[in-house]
Amino acid sequence: MTDHTKYQAQLQSRLTELSSEARHLEEELRTPHSADAEERAVESEGDEVLEGLEQAAVAEMQQINDALKRIELGTFGACTHCGNDIDTERLDVLPHTPVCVNCAAGG
């Protein structure tokens, strides 16, 4: 297994960043639109992009919370599909990943 303390700190830090980002995106989405029809159309397109970014942030926050729960349960670092250890190189890049490289590739 792996040193959970290092990953827990990374996950908590990223969760804080994402929470702030999601709040900012939500504030941007609540900003009133222009009365001008052309500007409203551009703003609507921008809103779609912001909504996509917000959804991605929320999804990553859920993955991080799941990883923190696995740390709490003592199962962090083990693939949730096959049970094998997840390589530390993979965890260094993607600490919230629940699966090993083989399972991620469909193996």
The model's pLDDT over 41-88, given as tens digits with 9 standing for 90+, comes to 556 666 677 888 889 999 999 999 999 999 999 999 999 999 999 999
CA-nearest of 84, 83, 82, 78 to 97 is 78
pTM of the model: 0.76
Whole-number pLDDT of residue 107: 67
Work out the average pLDDT over 8-16. Answer: 96
Domains for the chain: give ranges and CATH numbers: 4-104 (1.20.120.910)
- Mean pLDDT within 15-32: 85
Contacts of residue 13, defined as CB under 8 A and 6 or more positions apart, other chains included, come to none
Read off the tokens for 68.
């923190």
Mean pLDDT of 98-107: 92
Under DSSP, is residue 85 helix (H, G, I), strand (E, B) or coil?
Answer: strand
